[in-house]
Amino acid sequence: MVSFLALLPRALTTFLYAVAALLRFYANTDTTPIQLFPLTILQWSFLAFALGTTALLANLGLEWHAGNRSRHREIEKRDRAAQERERAARRARIQNRGFILQTRYQLTPGRETGAALADFLSFLQEYGE
């Protein structure tokens, strides 16, 4: 139903412009007003043209609004993705700092693992941030 409503202004514009053209170019220009409706065929053509233009402007407004809405959604998605990346980077930095602190703690008790843990600590400090 929503997709049909999106097509309605476009179809209505096309129909009204077709009616305006039909009345304008295929009608006798010397027609008199019909008693039931006090407009000539050329006036009906102008009315159909005016209504078609109104429907066209309504369609342009709807398309503009839909474009702005989708653009705002894309910007919002990009902002969320950037926030998630920042959180993940922050978590990784905290985790790396935790590993460094744990390694420093493990370096203090004994001398036998000192060299290996010192190398590991320097690796984490160099590539962890």
Tell me the domain boundaries of the chain. Answer: 2-127
User: What digits encode the pLDDT tens for the residues 44-72?
Assistant: 788 888 888 888 888 888 888 888 888 89
Q: Tell me how far apart the alpha carbons of residues 45 and 18 are, in angstroms, rounded to a whole number.
A: 10
Q: Of 105 and 52, which is predicted with more confidence?
A: 52
Provide mean pLDDT across the span 70-88. Answer: 92
Highest mean pLDDT among 16-30, 32-46, 47-61, 98-112: 47-61
| Calpha distance 116→124 (Å, rounded) | 12
What distance in Å separates the CA atoms of residue 112 and residue 63, rounded to the nearest whole number? 73
pTM greater than the 0.75 cutoff: no
Band of residue 29 on the pLDDT scale cut at 50, 70, 90: low
Radius of gyration of the chain (CA): 36
Least confident of 3-12, 20-29, 57-66, 85-94: 3-12
pLDDT at 5: 58
| Number of CB atoms found within 10 A of residue 99's CB | 15
